[in-house]
Structure 1
Amino acid sequence: MSALRVTTVRQSNEEATGTVLFLHGSEGSGEGILARIKEHLGDDWQFRHLRILFPTAPVMNYTPLGGAAANVWFDRHRLSPTVPECLESIEASMEMLKQLIEKEIELGIPLHRIIIGGYSMGGAMAMHLTYRMFPRVGGCFAMSSFLNDSSIVYKSLETNTEDPLPPLSMMHGDSDELVPMEWGAETLKQLQRFGVKGTMTIARNVPHELCKEHFINLTRWINNIVPHL
């Protein structure tokens, strides 16, 4: 498994007082997510007080591609809520991402001013990282994303002692055929059962892709969770 490379974005010379970790989808890259943000918003993202990290997933053999190598956060048997999770690959990526977050803490960023999120597979990885390893971060977001029905995230929350848990912002397109909106809604419902306070914003006539509406809503949410000091 290869090491992570990270694209970092800062908007000003201000000292960062918070961090956003944004994880891409399967076969994507950190640079690719940043390019889509520029495409939709015309700039790198306007947070004068935050450092934004766009890591690229390690290269691993990916079963849906016939075992070919790809930049993915974890392997999976197929894209379905009913299959078991490939935990070995999930755990390996969590350990690599843990190092990024610990580095931010070493730089002086408190956990409650760190937000973890992502798109599609990256959103799933963000929910694993947040609710299993860092339940004291400021918040989590998941765009066009999911957890499998038997996810270890749910099992971990059964014994959770953190109160409150980080809030969750989910965004989905109602025309998503790859990860149906109903799958995302069921994920949110299950997390709410365990005390996660979350919302889902629906983009009309949007398939499985990032859209401007999602980024506008996400920007507003991040500024509310980790405001400028």
Structure 2
Amino acid sequence: MSSVLEAIVVEPKGPATAVVIWLHGLGDSGAGFAPVVPALGLPADHPFRFIFPHAPEQAVTLNGGYIMRAWYDIKSMDLHDRADMPGVLASEQRIKALINEQIASGIPSQRIVLAGFSQGGVMSLFTGLRCEHTLAGIMALSCYLPGGDALPVQLSPANRHTRILQQHGLKDDVVPLSAGILAKEALTAAGYPLQWQTYPMPHSVLPNQLLDIGRWLLACVAE
């Protein structure tokens, strides 16, 4: 598979001075979240370039080997053995390449937010916590840690104080709320500055949640 991720890019009205890289969930594509930008309630002169990459296509064991866009294979429902770690590491390298590309274009890493939903949220947490560049923020929606209740190995000191937004649906029947809570507790115990929010929803996003995300994104780059 190619190391270069194709993506949908949504530019601001003026020159971009900050970037949000938003990773989609299993079986989706970058097109799934690209339409949310207007729903974030951002000011007309907001600074964000939004990048919605497409995960590579691969067979997913849990779905009978069906080929779909996925950041990694899902081997089982067991949270501690759910994520195929070689696949997680391969996607991490592709996401880091996107980050490095934005830095090379002139965007400081401290103005780059890594975001994701479901499987994309797993990759956002994993990659962000291990990233050698200091990021503006890490957003993890309706997701879990690939290690279940354990933080990734080789945590980067660069993001020990980076804002983390974790949101989860109280009625999520795809990624149980308990899985999100395990991640929350691990991050909190390690001293990460985590903001945790829940919403009365299934495995999805809500309009008022998107407005909360918009306010959080602005706070990430306000300092």
Q: So what's the TM-score if we normalise by structure 2? A: 0.90
- Structure 2 gap ranges (5+): none
Q: 173, 177, 193: which is aligned to 2:189?
A: 193
The one-letter amino acid of 2:108's match is P
CA contact (8 A) 1:85 1:151 kept: no
The answer for the alignment partner of 1:215 in structure 2 is 210
The answer for the alignment partner of 2:123 in structure 1 is 125
The answer to whether the aligner puts 1:34 opposite 2:34 as a matched pair is: yes
TM-superposed deviation, 1:132:
1.2
CA contact (8 A) 2:148 2:179 kept: no
Structure 2 CA distance for aligned equivalents of residues 73 and 30 of structure 1: 12
The answer for the alignment partner of 1:116 in structure 2 is 114
Identity of counterpart residues, as a percentage?
A: 26
Output the aligned Cα RMSD.
2.4
Structure 2 CA distance for aligned equivalents of residues 47 and 152 of structure 1: 40
The answer to whether the aligner puts 1:72 opposite 2:74 as a matched pair is: no
The answer for the alignment partner of 1:91 in structure 2 is 89
Structure 1 CA distance for aligned equivalents of residues 181 and 82 of structure 2: 19
Structure 2 CA distance for aligned equivalents of residues 216 and 162 of structure 1: 28
Describe the shift of the 1:102–1:163 C-alpha distance in structure 2 as closer, same or farther (beyond 3 A): closer
TM-superposed deviation, 1:46:
5.7
Structure 1 CA distance for aligned equivalents of residues 174 and 23 of structure 2: 18
The answer for the alignment partner of 1:5 in structure 2 is 6
CA contact (8 A) 1:176 1:207 kept: yes
The answer for the alignment partner of 1:226 in structure 2 is 221
TM-superposed deviation, 1:124:
0.3
TM-superposed deviation, 1:5:
1.4
Count of residue pairs the alignment pairs up: 222
The answer to whether the aligner puts 1:165 opposite 2:161 as a matched pair is: yes
Describe the shift of the 1:117–1:134 C-alpha distance in structure 2 as closer, same or farther (beyond 3 A): farther
TM-superposed deviation, 1:8:
0.4
Q: What does the per-residue CA deviation read over 1:57-100, in whole Å, with 9 as the maximum and x for residues that have no partner? A: 01111111211211000112124323253111111111111111
Q: 179, 184, 189: which is aligned to 2:180?
A: 184
CA contact (8 A) 2:113 2:137 kept: yes
Structure 2 CA distance for aligned equivalents of residues 141 and 27 of structure 1: 20
Aligned with 1:82: secondary structure? helix
TM-superposed deviation, 1:44:
9.7
Structure 1 CA distance for aligned equivalents of residues 138 and 159 of structure 2: 15
CA contact (8 A) 2:135 2:159 kept: no
Q: 139, 142, 162: which is aligned to 2:140?
A: 142
Structure 1 CA distance for aligned equivalents of residues 185 and 45 of structure 2: 30
Q: 152, 155, 160: which is aligned to 2:153?
A: 155
Describe the shift of the 1:46–1:68 C-alpha distance in structure 2 as closer, same or farther (beyond 3 A): farther
CA contact (8 A) 1:34 1:44 kept: no
CA contact (8 A) 2:40 2:210 kept: no
